[in-house]
Amino acid sequence: MVNIGLLGFGTVGQGLAHILNNKSEATPLKDINIKKILVRNLEKERKVKVSKDKLTLNPQEIMEDKEIDIIVEVTGDVDLSYRLVKEALNNKKHVVTANKALVSKHFEELSLLAEENDVYFLYEASVAGGIPILKPLKDQIRVNNISRLRGILNGTCNYILTKMTDEGLDYGQALREAQGLGYAEADPSSDVKGLDTLRKLRILSTLAFGSAIREEDIICHGIDKLLALDIKLLKEREMVIKLIGEVVEVDGGYQAIVQPKAFKDGSYFTMIREAYNTVSIEGDFSGVLNFYGPGAGMYPTANAVLTDIIDCVMNIQDKKNPLGNRKLENKNEDIRGKYYIRISNWKDYEVDLGGVIEEKVFEDDKDFAIITKEVRLSDILNILEGVENLALVNLED
């Protein structure tokens, strides 16, 4: 029997307990036992029932239990989990986590610590929830050099954009609908401003390119400034907007960005709808590989956590630190492309777009929208400095 110490018993933690309860005869799940569970509130009503004596408010009851082999961290609390995950690895307990904020912030340190202690540090559920992507990615980088990685990595944003595209909803209406369905948090800012996508991109790209690509190395533009007008104007040109996280390798360096991007309607990324996610990687031998599935949710996420637990139990993955030691240079300054730009209250600003306009798309007393020639993003950002209410959408070639 393998004993688990579960840190957190919310959506993912209860999903895990539910799957184990319902598959208690299946191999190797029958060998997995949740011994203790850390929570904040012992009295809280929970959908999945466990005996009360398993719950604790004291993390040390779990950390110091010598019979616990694997710590499964699903609290979402970065500071607490950082302390406990380090303690667990140092005490030679395997760690499985779904916490992208934790992994993104401390990726190099925790990966190294796990290797030094010859234990697993696995985090499949932290990126694209239910999609098995990190294990396949680790397999692919043994053979391939990855030249490009990109994805739709945030279900809330994709849901909002799908509703705006299909039903012509404004951003606020679509966000409220996403909140009503439980996709978006009460405070959705880390989703809609792109931070959640950025953290997942940081994890994926650091693995894929064998070089530390940290949060601060990634340009980040969210979807919170988009209007129904932007969606409509691009739709008239048969283009659909998605929030894309993307890293490409360019001669000796990389470019990393999270941004709204418009694709030809009917192309691959436009088929990823509602709260679904996708990750696309391009290897020199594999070609383009597209991974698709649910980006979040109780059972898909718990399922991803369980696959990591099983790898620990069966000793299947390599315990060697998977992070490479290349030192790729950040070349974000050279990012180029064509952009759709809309400025609201444009008469209040003295913006000189003259040299970059390829086509004027819309103009009334309030809004002004253009499509640029191929330009450097940094030049455009300089021109637009100080303009608050605007949309900037990269156009796929």
| Catalytic residue annotation | 200
Q: Note whether 86 and 298 are within 8 A (CB).
A: no
Residue nearest to ligand NAP (CB): 10
Interaction between residue 129 and ligand NAP (CB under 6 A):
yes
Site for ligand NAP in 285-324 (CB under 6 A): 296-297, 301
- Which of 38, 184, 231, 233 is the binder for ligand NAP (CB under 6 A)? 38
Q: Give the shortest CB-177-to-ligand NAP separation in angstroms.
A: 18
Interaction between residue 185 and ligand NAP (CB under 6 A):
no
Q: Give the shortest CB-33-to-ligand NAP separation in angstroms.
A: 19
* Residue 34 or 169 with smaller CB distance to ligand NAP: 34
Q: Give the shortest CB-368-to-ligand NAP separation in angstroms.
A: 39
- Which of 12, 152, 226, 392 is the binder for ligand NAP (CB under 6 A)? 12
* Residue 122 or 296 with smaller CB distance to ligand NAP: 296
Going from the C-alpha of 366 to that of each of 62, 178, 339, the distances in angstroms are 59, 28, 20
* Residue 129 or 188 with smaller CB distance to ligand NAP: 129
Q: Give the shortest CB-203-to-ligand NAP separation in angstroms.
A: 12
Interaction between residue 11 and ligand NAP (CB under 6 A):
yes
Q: Give the range of 38-46, 115-123, 171-179, 365-373 binding ligand NAP by CB under 6 A.
A: 38-46
Interaction between residue 47 and ligand NAP (CB under 6 A):
no
Interaction between residue 247 and ligand NAP (CB under 6 A):
no
Number of residues that bind ligand NAP (CB under 6 A): 24
Binding mask 90-109 for ligand NAP (x = CB under 6 A): --------xxx---------
Interaction between residue 74 and ligand NAP (CB under 6 A):
yes
Interaction between residue 137 and ligand NAP (CB under 6 A):
no
Pairing of strands 357-363, 367-372: antiparallel
* Residue 183 or 368 with smaller CB distance to ligand NAP: 183
Binding mask 204-223 for ligand NAP (x = CB under 6 A): --------------------
Calculate Rg over the CA atoms of the chain. 22
Going from the C-alpha of 341 to that of each of 86, 298, 337, 360, the distances in angstroms are 45, 38, 12, 10
Interaction between residue 9 and ligand NAP (CB under 6 A):
yes
- Which of 4, 125, 262, 380 is the binder for ligand NAP (CB under 6 A)? 125
Q: Rule CB under 6 A: which residues touch ligand NAP?
A: 8-13, 38-41, 44, 74-77, 80, 98-100, 125, 129, 296-297, 301
